[in-house]
Structure 1
């Protein structure tokens, strides 16, 4: 075959490949790449989308405005508290549950199904169920009354409302990461545990010195996914507070604040896009820091 014919065949093959990929490329362009680029464009403009669309270039004014926005500071602090509590707790709980269910206890298949059920429930439905349980006469307060403990205003007390959302999310997300840990535990050679047992290691020592080190890559993945998910908390906070972030802004998160500025305030769509862009940078930095620490740990 001549070089010219070979080039034509190669070009035809490449063209066919792009034709087959075109639906996926079109979806990526319309629903992922396009919106990202448009959001970046909006972040540098003062935008009025309702009525006659108006775009006024303001440079970095939207980003500097964030530094002086008290609601943005409150939302960032609430999100930060949520992240530093939920991510470690759900990771540790998922690891412990996975190790327990992998230890060969009786009925482990039944417990695996039961523990995984919260993950199958819709987030909105789960939030409504917990709001019913958090009610003044709900399940939680009745349970506390059995032990003679006082009940709490779980939804209406600013000092407790965010903690209530934390508990709900830890309970609902830990089983998902538990399944990931369960799959990773199958790859740890049984000979390591047998050798440790011959050396006199007990259950806790085998867990700390064999299970945990061998699961570091999976733990890194779980933490990164947890960071991304917790920074994007929105639906539970929205449903709990009716979209206000209350009581007293105690459940106001960064994503909920973006929603408020984008769809509840006039002329602040560009500012909302700037906050969203800043949040994306924060998530990226947090992810890179976590990956750097995980790589340094793997060297030792």
Structure 2
């Protein structure tokens, strides 16, 4: 069989890129271009309003991050949020999926009910939970009626971030539950039958058959969870009215980036540096998680 000539290969490649050109144009204009522009801004002191100016400051914006107390607080809040929400929502999603996959009566109804939070707008969901968390809201009314202490969920710095965590776990776990549910359909029944012959209980089958088989899916769920939780913004913004309060307890990195970019004059470059640093943190966290998942798959 004759190999195609270089001219024909060039023509085929040109046709391929021609068909891809609309997508490549969108990627260049709306993704690659803004990323490169943000990197450019991170090395400058930028004034976008009034007389536009770009003063090159080298790495000053990045060194400022280490000296910015609010940036450290935002990073700590975000890290705490990621470390608690990601494992909890992953485990909850897996348990819910395994429960629904067990063939319970009314399984289809439960699937719909569990998935409803995912269909709700994030802003609307936050407003509903704010009403529930209010001093005179639903949760405090229930706690008061059963004789338990009530809480100032929105105004107590020790509770505010935990309240957002609880809301997000409840809202995002059903989405990952659907992913797990689809993966559970691919587990061969023969594996469970072999485990039963060996005398395995339902819990043993879950931990020694289901969980190991779902490792690639769990890796995907954790990576998506890490990326999503590091980018927490809208719930924190609505809860605190954009301030990150009370006492910076709900201040996240993305909310801080917004504040510097659009509320502090001349801080757009610093906000871009914060965004670039956050992107690097997410990249490193994702690579570490992928490395661990690959090492686990070797055993």
Fold-level similarity (TM above 0.5): yes
Give the structure-2-normalised TM-score: 0.97
**Secondary structure of residue in 1 paired with 2:147:** coil
Give the match for residue 84 of structure 2. 85
Q: Give, in angstroms, the shift of residue 22 of structure 1.
A: 1.4
- The separation in 1 between residues aligned to 2:222 and 2:145, in whole angstroms, is 37
Matched residue, 1:243:
242
Structure 1 CA distance for aligned equivalents of residues 136 and 115 of structure 2: 28
Give the match for residue 17 of structure 2.
18
Question: Which residue in the other structure is 1:55 paired with?
Answer: 54
1:68 to partner: Cα distance: 0.5
Give, in angstroms, the shift of residue 16 of structure 1. Answer: 2.9
1:221 is matched with which residue? 220
**Cα shift readout 1:213-238 (whole Å, capped 9, x = no counterpart):** 11111101100000000000000000
Give the Cα–Cα distance (whole angstroms) in 2 for the partners of residues 146 and 200 of structure 1.
47
Residue segments in structure 2 that go unaligned for 5+ positions in a row: none
Structure 2 match to 1:115: 114
Q: Does 1:279 align with 2:278?
A: yes
Structure 1 runs (4+) deviating above 6 angstroms are: none
Return the alpha-carbon distance in structure 2 between the equivalents of residues 44 and 18 of structure 1: 34
CA distance in 2, matches of 1:185, 1:6: 48
Residues 292 and 13 of structure 1, relative CA distance in 2, 3 Å threshold: closer
Where in structure 2 are the equivalents of 1:1-300 lying within 5 Å? 9-300=8-299
- CA–CA separation in structure 2 for the residues paired with 1:10 and 1:197: 57
**RMSD across aligned C-alpha pairs, in angstroms?**
1.5
- The 3-state SS of whatever aligns with 1:137 is coil
Offset of residue 10 of structure 1 = 4.3
1:59–1:118 CA distance, 2 compared to 1 (3 A): same
Residue correspondences, number: 298
Describe the superposition over 1:86-131 as per-residue Cα deviations: whole angstroms up to 9, x where unpaired: 0000000000000000001101111011100100111011101111
SS at match of 1:46: strand
CA distance in 1, matches of 2:226, 2:41: 26
For the residue of structure 2 that corresponds to 1:152, the secondary structure is: coil
Cα offset, 1:11, TM superposition: 3.9
User: How far did 1:295 drift?
Assistant: 1.3
C-alpha displacement at 1:48, in angstroms?
A: 0.5
Q: TM-score, normalised by structure 1?
A: 0.96
SS of the counterpart of 1:47? strand
Deviation at 1:146, TM superposition (A): 2.5
Name the CA distance, whole Å, in 2 between partners of 1:221 and 1:37: 27
Deviates more, 1:45-54 or 1:162-171: 45-54
Unmatched tracts of structure 1, length 5 or more: none
1:293 CA drift (Å): 1.1
3-state SS of paired residue (2:236): helix
Distance of 2:252 and 2:226 partners within structure 1:
14
Query: SS in structure 2 opposite 1:55?
Result: strand
Aligned partners of 1:26, 1:105: CA distance in 2, in Å? 49
How far apart, CA to CA, are the structure 1 residues paired with 2:231 and 2:101? 31
